[in-house]
Amino acid sequence: MTLEDMERPDEAIPSSSAESLSSPGNAEQAIDESSDVDGDFADLQKMLSQRRRAAKDSPEARLLKALPCIKKFSPLVRPLTISDLKSAIALENAAFPNPDHRASPEKLEYRLSVCPELSLGVFVTLVPEQAKALGIATLETANPVESGRVDGAVSVLLAHIVSTRCRGATITDDDMDYPKEWRDRSQRSGQPLGHYEAGKTVGVHSLAVLPLLQRCGMGQLIMRSFLDQMGGCGLVDKVALICQEHLVAYYQRLGFQHLGESKAQFGGGGWHDMVYDLSRHRKPSI
């Protein structure tokens, strides 16, 4: 039975099988063939039903259901800039119910000013009038796609990663902090806190996804893109992050190695160190 037959169940049993059933001289043969066909048909119908259910519950299907105002998901993935600060703050507040686990507006401003190249955002173009009822936390802070556009379309932040370079191979509380006088460039060098320009490990301080789009594959999309970006630049060796215990397996599936409990006490502690080796992203030199 072909895939075409599977898609047309009313035509799945050939007419020859029905004719055999009506012929007494071929009763034994007819019964055997009917049983085989019925069994094959049931198995194929079950497989087709499973495929349909899987398609309906796929990450892309869930995403399109969450964003019914778009017909096809065509995201723009790019580094964040300081012009995205308001959206980054709105996303951080929406994604982390526990305020202690959020990056503060001051930290986000610092990181997007000092090392914006170590950040990444997933954006999608939406028309505010069509999307206003969806409860998208970053819609009001979104920047226009282009000035004077009739429909007022904006570029909406759906997920982001914000990072700095670390002094060691794992993230510490000093890495997650920031120098309060950072706007004074003369005070930046030699600071024991925040971004360390010579560091060979990138520390991810925030991976945030809009609650509306969680379980839609957005986290994997942005993390894999970020790992490709960091591996391609050739300037750093590792990507590190800290996560709660229930997320250890999630990051392991993305290729991170679990190094055990972290010494970082940010937000009350209870974190685990995860490290990704970027050497797998590098092409061997010829």
Give all strands (DSSP E) within the chain, no chain letters. Answer: 76-78, 120-126, 143-144, 154-166, 201-209, 238-244, 257-261, 271-277
Quick: pLDDT tens for 96-134: 999 999 999 999 999 999 999 999 999 999 999 999 999
Cα dihedral 153/154/159/164 (nearest 10):
150
Quick: pLDDT tens for 208-225: 999 999 888 899 999 999
Instruction: Report the share of the chain in percent with pLDDT over 90.
Output: 60
DSSP 8-state class, residue 112:
H
Using a 10 angstrom Cβ sphere, with 0-12 exposed, 13-18 middle and 19 or more buried, the burial of residue 65 is: exposed
CB-CB contact of 171 with 242 (8 Å): yes
| 92: nearest Cα among 106, 104, 80, 75 | 104
β partners of residue 206: 162
pLDDT, residue 73, reads: 86
The strand pair at 257-261 and 120-126 is best described as: unpaired
Tokens representing 250 are 């999630």
Mean pLDDT of 60-72: 85
